[in-house]
Amino acid sequence: MGGFQEFIIPNEKNNQMTTNKDTLQKYYELAREAFYWISFSPDIRASETISQFSNELETDLCNIPADDRKDYQSKYESLFTAWLKAKGRCRSSAITGSAGFSLRKAQAANVSENQCLNDFVEWRKRALTAIAKKQKQARPQEVKDKESIDKLKSDIDYIAQVKAQGLPCNPSLLVANLYGRLQTISKTGRVAVIEEVVLYALERGVITKRHKMNGLIELASLKKEVPKNISFKFDGGELLINYQIERVQILFENIPDVEMRTRLKSSGFRFSPRHRAWQRKSTAQGVMVAKKIVGL
């Protein structure tokens, strides 16, 4: 099972936790039963399994935020015990004896056990990836900006190298790609990032002072002063005018019925899994339509 720790971003605060290497000891009897009909030493196999998975779980819990630990451990134990129960249905003729041994049933039990283990492994991989992503998004904006600047500067160095050495790449296309990415960043009002990167591009001779990329600094400055979002409560949810992403959003407490979803779609709304909201471009017409839909 090991090998997924790379999905977790180390966090010293998260590691302030007393570990218990026998976290799963309460499942010893279940583990022993799991190996009873497939091993000559079910006690030893059970102890090794409990120790291995306890160590793995404790390592995971030490590296994830405290708020996520309870749910993670609950799901981990649920899948762990499901796998043990599936393994407990497996049989080996070397243990049971060949008399009355059903090869078909044994093969079916093995397939089921393998599926349970694969489900366990894949869930853990997805869960740790999702937690790592959430931790990454929660980093201070200054850290994110520095990473963006370093990456963009590296790309600028490459463009300069292409131009200087005549490498088989079209520098104009590379500059256009760089401009597109900076334009996206400028819309978030991250002036410091745009200024540093554009000035670096000028220093490296990738662009001239007349290039439209210079105008992104002003664009970012204009976008920096974004109005506060406006929220309206209605029976069953919230209507949000989200100026940060220029969207009017409808957030329901419960999943809307088919009739409501059809109405939303016909009015130009689309569901955003990221924001867990039905949304469309924030215009005067869009706000008016949204209010009408939710009865405001």
Q: What is the pLDDT of residues 147-159, one digit of tens each?
A: 999 999 999 999 9
Whole-structure pTM value: 0.55
d(CA 64, CA 76): 14
Domain ranges of the chain: 5-137, 141-224, 230-294
Backbone angles phi, psi at 263, to 5 degrees: -65, -40
CA angle 119, 120, 125 (to 5 degrees): 95
The pLDDT, as a whole number, for residue 83 is 96
Q: What is the pLDDT of residues 241-269, one digit of tens each?
A: 988 788 899 999 899 899 999 999 988 89
The DSSP string of 187-230 is TTT-HHHHHHHHHHHHHTTSS-TTSGGGHHHHHHHHHHSPPPPE
The pLDDT, as a whole number, for residue 224 is 65
